[in-house]
Structure 1
Amino acid sequence: MLRRGFLDMRNRLTADDVRTAAAALAEHALELPELAHARTVAAYVSVGTEPGTLTLLDALRARGVRVLLPALLPDNDLDWAAYDGEGSLAPVRHGKKMELLEPVGERLGPDAVTRADVVLLPGLAVDARGMRLGRGGGSYDRVLARLERAGAHPSLVVLLYDSEVVGRVPAEAHDLPVRAVVTPSGVRRFT
């Protein structure tokens, strides 16, 4: 029910709201020291009324950052491929799930994410502890578990709207907190 509430709020946003928020989000994210020094960033392509990511992805590429984007596997795990600009994306429908924009380049395998300096995570909300509420599909839980198993410690950053930073979200024992949340109005860090 909590997820549905956040999705309902997003569904009320106009295309102009999303576009304006995406520009502000990119501006604030690019000020993060973690992204300023990153050589490889694992990110994602926003869909629908999610906080927009394409402006940020293109700005990272312009800085010479290698950007990895996910491709959803049949078991909901994620494979990764390099982002080479908006023309390197194709719409892919996964059964009855939403259509996603995925990279068309060579697949690098699920472990490619372990070499990222920063992982930009999608979500629906984050709380004062830095705990992220995802969509519930488990794809990014697998990514976070893979990072943990590999002993990889990239900076974890979630991209959200301002109204999605809340007092508390449910968390399970396997959940990992993010280091920061970037919203259209700025950055908030968690300890």
Structure 2
Amino acid sequence: MTESRILKKTLRRDALARRDALDPAWRIEASLGMAETASQAIPIVPGAIASGFWPMRSEVDVRPLMFALMEKGGRLCLPAILDKTTIVFRELVRGAPLVDMGFGTSGPGEEAEVLDPDVMLVPLAAFDRRGHRIGYGAGYYDRAIAKLQRQGRAPRLIGIAFDCQQVDHVPDEPHDVELPEILTESGLHRFGTAG
């Protein structure tokens, strides 16, 4: 394992421990506040596709934010793990059954339409002031975003985290996707080309 990967593993572990230590009631209130912030800061045109994620463990609960985007006319999708390297985004339709996706999360089944998101809410374990992120280590989102970009698509990428997940510096690796924006309880933070 490279020195960079060892450091990422340590940063991930420590950031997730800080997140896990947050009071569950506070996390709910912070998630609701983030949904309010985002509903103003993330314009979505009717019919645009937004990918969210079903929260696992102590993650930000983005379901209120997804509902706000749906109320603006957005179509929703959730990631579905196909194999050890690939995720696709399946449409989330009110009333449709959800199936176990592994990792303690749920999503639409195989009958749901596969969509290419215009806006992606990206989960993460840690981030820095440059918009560099540490995921959970499997690289699903890095590969999914890279695939969309190879197809000529440029989804708006918004990382989702609590402020306590910020670290001083995330080591750069060639495959890492930088996030131009990260939403936390203190607001929508823009990096690089996003402002």
**Which TM-score tier does this pair reach, normalised by the shorter chain?**
0.7 to 0.9
CA distance in 2 between partners of 1:63 and 1:37 (Å): 7
Matched, 1:143 2:151: no
Q: Match for 1:88: what amino acid?
A: A
Structure 2: stretches of 5+ with no match in the other structure? 1-9
CA displacement at 1:117 relative to structure 2: 1.8
Which residue matches 1:179? 180
CA distance in 2 between partners of 1:117 and 1:92 (Å): 25
CA displacement at 1:53 relative to structure 2: 0.8
TM-align CA RMSD? 1.9
For the Cα contact (< 8 Å) 1:79–1:107, is it kept in 2? no
Which residue matches 2:190? 189
**Corresponding residue to 1:102 among 104, 107, 110:** 107
Which residue matches 2:60? 51
**Corresponding residue to 1:24 among 21, 33, 46:** 33
Q: Match for 1:108: what amino acid?
A: E
TM-score by length of 2: 0.84
Which residue matches 1:80? 89
Which residue matches 2:100? 92
CA distance in 1 between partners of 2:171 and 2:186 (Å): 24
Q: Match for 1:83: what amino acid?
A: L
Size of the aligned set, in residue pairs, is 182
Relative to structure 1, is the Cα distance of residues 93 and 103 closer, same or farther in structure 2, using a 3 angstrom cutoff? Answer: closer
Q: Match for 2:166: what amino acid?
A: V
CA displacement at 1:22 relative to structure 2: 0.8
TM-score by length of 1: 0.86
For the Cα contact (< 8 Å) 2:81–2:101, is it kept in 1? no
Which residue matches 1:62? 71
CA distance in 1 between partners of 2:180 and 2:136 (Å): 19
CA distance in 2 between partners of 1:24 and 1:59 (Å): 12
CA displacement at 1:93 relative to structure 2: 5.4
**Corresponding residue to 2:24 among 15, 21, 24:** 15
Deviations 1:145-185 (A, max 9, x none): 11221121111110110122333112211222111111112
Structure 1: stretches of 5+ with no match in the other structure? none
CA distance in 1 between partners of 2:64 and 2:181 (Å): 19
* 1:117-156 alignment runs, 5 A limit: 117-156=118-157
Q: Match for 1:78: what amino acid?
A: I
